[in-house]
Chain A
Amino acid sequence: MREQQAAQQAAQQAPPPRQVKDKNTPAWLEAWQDPMAGADAFSSCICTADLAGDGEFRLVVATAMKKMKVWNGTSLTSEHDLLEPPVAVCTFYPAEPKSPKRPSLAIAAGTHVYIYRNLRPYYKFTLPALTVDEQEIEVWKMVRDGQIGPKEAFDELANIRDAGVSLTSRSLDLLAMEDGAAGEVEQLRAAYCAAQAPEQLQHFTSITCMGSIKKNMDEWDATSCLFVGTESAELYVLNANGSAVKTTTRLPSVPVFVASTGLLDVDYRIVVACRDGRVYTIKNDELSTVVIELETQPCGLVRTAKQIHVACMNQVIHCYHAKGKKAYSLYLPAEITCIESMEVTRTRAVRCLLVALANNELRVYNEKHMVSKFDMMEPVRGLSFGRMGREDNTLILCTKGGCLQVKIMPRLANLEAVSQNGPPPEQDIPLAVPKKTKLYVEQTQREREQAVDMHQAFQKDLLKLRLNTARAYVKVMKDGQSPVNDSFEGVTVRIQASVQGLGPLFKIRVHVVNTGTKPVYDVPILLVPSDVDMYDLEEVIMQCPALLPGLPWIDAVKCRQKDPAAGAGEIRVIVATKTSPVPLITALIKMPLSEFLD
């Protein structure tokens, strides 16, 4: 991806700079796309770095399939197997005088940070082991000495866990053995205890996030240090070689996203979004009192020099000043999959925010204003903006299906925010309210003039209708014709009857459910054809022994039409009780016409 090529593409594809103002025209150049890249990675696992020290920035993607892939330009130069699924990838410049400097590549996975130099494994940093709880050591010691069996050990460990103690993975594995038949579980536990008890009990944690921060100079190849957040709610800052822990900060909750600004030896801040839905700031080795509380869980964090952007799971991005004061919120139409900052340095630097949404959109915000938007084919899983090859403003996108896309921001693209003042344009569109017609006016006139007569006529009719309705209603009640009876003797039953088949053989399905609170016992269900000679029923009375509240009673009866050519009749299904002369409910089935058997 040489600049010349890019420039050529720009000449071919880029719209004239003035047109970029239209928000819907893509301000991006399609540089390269590989749908079969297998780059299934989140933003934290994508980075670009000048790994060979030749000024060509390589793209490194650590995929969920435990592979690290390195691209130089558009060609995949190497692929490395990883031992564990990667959590984060980042580069740092170790302290060394040699020039040109080459960065080290750090991959966080499990409890380790694997450091690569020249794309070769160089050093493995392991997180310091945590102290194991005394009681837990005691339990395992007793198991080893045979003082207690696996059953007792299980109970003891469960008690310790319930008391709120963080257990080692060994104990947690034992506690997890719960499934299976009773005897089998006992055997499994005994075998596990026998195998594990003699070993040294160690308590490791795992890495949740990682980043790097410059040590004492603000240059792109200045010495930098790694920092990692762990599952045990601690943040370790490593030394410049990545071989030992320099400082440790205890956090109130497990960190999930980290971002940093400043210089480690001068003045720095690390912003940490944690699992308790709060964002903490570590200021020069100390946890600051500035805490940002979020309404929902964070799903992305971006820190620029002065601002903190936090993407939340309720489709909102909040922007805060460094001191924790909220500046504004962006409300988005869909869930946010990832966010990334975009700094374009031209005659004047423009800082934007890239937001990928679950509805396949990718938006660019300058402050509160959207300056660019385009649609992807599938949701974006990870994105990274920076230098790739020799092109400065490159956007790297990894989609859900493992497709890798590289786009370039043209140098003439307009990223300035155009603020919209005044009412929204929708306000000028009139609502489609139909006009009141002349007829309507005449009718209202009539209404006004003859109000009394109309009212009296209406009241008279209403009384009549009420009477008729009441009569019809009483008839329905008396006959028990309704498919839903209304608390008849405290029992509410409803029925649904349907007919299946083409004929002349049919099946009548009856579905009765008691929606009341009292059970009904011994319910006969009768099937009565409107014309007795028309259908042969397998059963005329179905006996339902009990209708329990809420439990449907379903039965089917075979029915045969005696003469298939005789048209169609009706069958009435009657649910009765032995105590009442009126049926509980009835349903009418309209039988379909029979098909001829020929």
Chain B
Amino acid sequence: MADDEDDPSSREISKCWLAMKALERHDLDECLEHCNAALEKNPYDQQMWYIKTRCLTLKNWIDDTELEEEGVAEVLMDEHATAAMPRPGTSLRRPGTRTQTGMPNQGIRPTTSSGRPTTGFLRPGTSTRPMTNKGGVEGAFRGNRPGTTRPVTTSGRLVRLGTASMLAEPGGPFINVDKLDLRKYAQRPALARVLCDYILHHDRNPKKAVELASLATVNAGFDDWWWKHRLGKGYYQLGLLRDAEKQFKSSIADMPTIDATLQLANVYIRLDQPASAIRVYRAGQTQFPGETSMLLGEARIHDALNDMAAGVALYKNVLQWDATNVEAIACMGAHHFYTDQPEIALRFYRRLLMMGVNNTELWNNLGLCCFYASQYDMTLHCFERALQLADDDNMADVWFNVGQVAIGIGDLNLAEQAFKIAVSVDANHSESFNNMGVLDLRAGKVDQAIANFQTAHELLEFAHEPLYNAALTAFKLGQFQRAFEKVEKALENFPEHEDSLELRRQLVQHFNLL
């Protein structure tokens, strides 16, 4: 096409055709240019209007099958209260309740700041535990990492995106949805569909989208899977999960689609019904064999439920279908690392490296794997790379790991320096505070150690290590009551922690003794 630009004959080519071709090529800017030019001449050109709407929608399209981070409103005003009783193994809120044998526990495999087992791949949904509100209102406002905040609502972020996309347009918004007569549009299926997608993805106004979709679905006689799907999407964004569930189910019954299946599973995850979500994924897998997104979705739920063995089997399955799936490779790597096979984890991470992933986290993991697999000559080199690539968000973690390696080789001075740098980069790095406390204790600075454990605990309430360390310190100082309180809290976070149990046993024996 570009070759023809100078050719005068190209001027005769219809703008509409050009725009359509540009849209096909996904050259959205060019498409917009053609559309704008045509619409300037004739604002009522429905053909061009259609193409421009499509184009703008595609431009602002984001994959909404991924689970977003929950907002403050979702956490605080959780109306989808299910059973208040503990549901061991069937709730995402309490991953620790699942009994598992032969898999690394909390003591070996660390948890995220919200108490969920870490996975090999960071996604907005993985690091938080849904609907957990431990610290009241203040806890709800706190984000994943300490020191950050949650968005107020999930849809709030979408609204922000919508506003941003509107501001980015010169001459005001292309379609003023509030002024449209949706009833009229609902009767024209082709136009209504692009308009609906436009409202959902460009304007981010689910309320209007639902309005349009419900009118259109009535016109279609309630048997159009597409409208039901969009209706479900709108309800989901509005937080009307049960309505969304109904629509998605109905849509899948009419016409099974990957998108609707993933969305329905998301609804169940939001409702904290992981077993239902898994059922949906399984049903989807029989419809669409080899669809990795469903396999991954199911694997993520198993991970979140602390059922690593089932998750790993699925990640393996994913890799059989798609050998370059970054998430599956990373999760397999993490799994092997935490099950004491760093040499295999190294293989997985190297594969990622060969695939062209080049970031701090990967180099950091490579360094750790090398260290624990005794490939010392490469260890520090990897960390050096990691530090070179690091930014403020992940540098603290790299320094923390440098400190860990330094402890491993017995260079406590280096370790202390590394931890101090880590906390200077990220003042909320709880793990570093905890380790600094341990080093302080070794150096005989007891008061500082206690203060460090306290800080570590305040920053990361779900961790058991700072509490156990504080309890042990108090025990050694003879403050048994304090030690008991701390060890009880540690056990609340990690009920099977053997050292804490032993310490509590000793304390109880001490209290009982005459």
> A residues near B, CB below 8 A?
277, 294-297, 312-314, 432, 434, 437, 439-440, 443-444, 446-447, 453-455, 457-458, 461-462, 464-466, 468-470, 472-473, 476, 481-484, 486, 492, 494-500, 502, 513, 515, 565, 587-590, 592-593, 595-596
Contact = CB atoms under 8 A, between A and B. Distances in A.
Given A432-B101, A500-B138, A590-B148, A464 B384 contact: yes
Nearest to A442: B343
Given A295-B514, A296-B513, A465 B141 contact: no
B165 to A, nearest CB: 13
Contact of A515 (B138, B448, B458): B448
Given A295-B514, A499-B149, A590-B148, A468 B387 contact: yes
Given A464-B384, A469-B418, A592-B149, A494 B376 contact: no
Contacts of A502: 72, 152
Contact-size category for B = 35 or more
A465 B402 contact: yes
Nearest to B427: A483
Nearest to B375: A443
A481 B426 CA distance: 10
B333 to A, nearest CB: 14
Contacts, number: 130
A455 B452 CA distance: 35
Contact of B163 (A312, A458, A482, A565): A565
Contact of A481 (B101, B380, B424): B424
B509 A314 contact: yes
A186 to B, nearest CB: 37
26 contacts: A295-B513, A296-B513, A432-B102, A439-B344, A440-B343, A461-B377, A461-B384, A465-B383, A468-B384, A469-B418, A472-B417, A473-B417, A473-B420, A482-B420, A482-B423, A497-B427, A502-B72, A513-B451, A515-B447, A515-B451, A565-B167, A588-B427, A593-B151, A593-B160, A596-B159, A596-B163
Q: Nearest 6 CB-CB pairs, A to B?
A: A461-B380, A432-B102, A457-B377, A592-B149, A483-B427, A314-B512
**Chain A at the B interface: mostly helix, strand, loop or mixed?**
mixed
Interface string B357-386: 000000000000000011111011101100
B402 A469 contact: yes
A143 B137 CA distance: 62
A458 B347 contact: no
Interface of B: 72, 101-102, 138, 141, 143, 147-149, 151-152, 156, 159-160, 163, 167, 339-341, 343-344, 347, 373-377, 379-381, 383-384, 387, 402, 409, 411, 414, 417-418, 420-421, 423-424, 427, 436, 447-448, 451-452, 455, 458, 508-509, 512-514
Contacts of B148: 590, 592
**Chain B at the A interface: mostly helix, strand, loop or mixed?**
helix
A483 B423 contact: yes
Contact of A294 (B341, B424, B514): B514
A592 B142 CA distance: 10
Contact of B339 (A434, A447, A454, A513): A434
B381 A461 contact: yes
Contacts of A482: 420, 423-424
- Interface-centre pick from B377, B409, B421 (highest chain A CB count, 10 A): B377
A458 B377 CA distance: 5
A461 B378 CA distance: 9
A553 B441 CA distance: 26
Contacts of B344: 437, 439
Contacts of A296: 512-514
Contacts of B167: 565
